[in-house]
Structure 1
């Protein structure tokens, strides 16, 4: 009799686990392994926090997905997705035609301008003429590298590539380069630090080129993952409609990050 009861209990446990598994599809969410405030950065204990971490948790809860944070080197993040090492990219990746040749995207979940910062007190703007003869820092494998190369490369002294945004910012602060191009929010976060405020200032936003800079930031997905894409798009729409998106965004920004 005890064996029968034990067998029944095991079967019930397995059944509950199976039912639970049916409710929560596990997906590995990739983003850059280096800090990218205010979107992603590790705290003193090594736990990741930031606006994009909160966004990820919100859409995973809404879509009933069991999401596992999986930091990946930025220059290898698309190969990590296509090879199955991760299942989604939620790492401020802009939706561009070039990337859509390899991967798919959800609907956009934010859209902000691209900016240039430079040494405080030096008079130049974010134009090819203004940056003529300057050394410009960009993060490798980003839309900013592509844009700077096309528009500023012909007149700049050089376009210097960095593995992380922090490295580019630190070189600017140290006077080893003249300017840095990146997302305006990321650069604004740097300018609000003690280091950034002491050395640098905003030189302006670049002229938009949607073919390079994209149509906003989306969740990167493997091609053919239509069911997962549908869940993510529905979740984005839901958290925008029910106020969740605005609630956590207000902790980081005093404007609508979703954009036009």
Structure 2
């Protein structure tokens, strides 16, 4: 009996402890400060990194942060290489054809920039007859739908819009407020331009914000993330992390 007990205890000691299931979170390899950047040692840093870790903790998920190219994120998700995407992914109907989304976890306000001294209102009436442009940034939609009375110009990206504004070929450009602020802090931006105001929140104009991308059949994970987003918003964690990086509310208007 003693030998049997000893053998049983020994066998139990040799059984490995159950490993907690790891949830793999995909970030883009490309830097996107201050949301996510990778240092020389390969460690991820930034607001989105910190907020994702807090949401994983609230959801009681053991998350492993991994990086892949921006273009490879959705294929990695649908192919089972990662479990959800945390890479400033805009919630769009087109993407919903392939993946599902959590509730939004941020939506930076959009802002309008124009030449110094030129009065512009970030409304359709204020931009009537003005030559304006909006590139396809992460969380805003094309300007023609936002300001139908304006004179929209087609640009390939926000850098082109900024250069056209600096050169006087545009009267205004619409983009995420962070992008506008970065331009206005540049040498060219300081010389030519100023912010004329934030654009009123309107899902039809500005979209539905940024959400975590999940597989369409993973309702359980999506619900856990939604509950965790609400928890960190309610308990102050979200605001505490945001204050380290921004001096304005990055969440945007509450969903209704």
Bin for the TM-score computed over the shorter chain? 0.7 to 0.9
Q: Does 1:218 align with 2:211?
A: yes
1:1-260 map, 5 Å: 15-16=16-17, 19=18, 21=19, 23-31=20-28, 33-43=29-39, 47-62=43-58, 63-73=60-70, 77-128=73-124, 130=127, 132=129, 134=131, 136-139=133-136, 142-144=138-140, 146-151=141-146, 155-156=150-151, 158-162=153-157, 167-168=159-160, 171=163, 175=167, 178=170, 179-192=172-185, 196-259=189-252, 260=254
| In structure 2, C-alpha distance between the alignment counterparts of 1:177 and 1:48, rounded to whole Å | 39
Q: Give the structure with the larger helix fraction.
A: 1
Distance 1:68 1:181, change over 3 A: same
In the alignment, the residues of structure 2 paired with residue 212 and residue 13 of structure 1 have an alpha-carbon distance, to the nearest angstrom, of: 60
- Provide the rounded CA distance (Å) in 2 between the counterparts of 1:55 and 1:249: 8
Q: Provide the C-alpha distance between the structure 2 equivalents of 1:99 and 1:116, rounded to a whole number of angstroms.
A: 27
TM-score (norm: length of structure 1): 0.72
TM-score relative to the length of structure 2? 0.73
Q: For the residues of structure 2 that align with 1:227 and 1:177, how far apart are their CA atoms?
A: 50
Cα distance, 1:257–1:28 mapped onto 2, change above 3 Å? closer
Where do 5+ consecutive residues of structure 1 fail to align? none
Which structure has the bigger radius of gyration? 2
**Deviation (angstroms), 1:223:** 0.5
Q: Residues 108 and 139 of structure 2 are in contact (CA less than 8 Å); yes or no, is this contact kept in structure 1?
A: no
User: How many equivalent pairs are there?
Assistant: 243
- Rounded to whole Å, the distance in 2 between the matches of 1:71 and 1:200 is 36
**Shift in Å at residue 195 of structure 1?**
5.7
Contact 1:87 1:221 in 2 (8 A): yes
1:74-118 Cα offsets, whole Å, 9 max, x none, are x66444533445432223333344433332111222233222223
Segments of 5+ residues of structure 2 without an aligned counterpart are 1-6
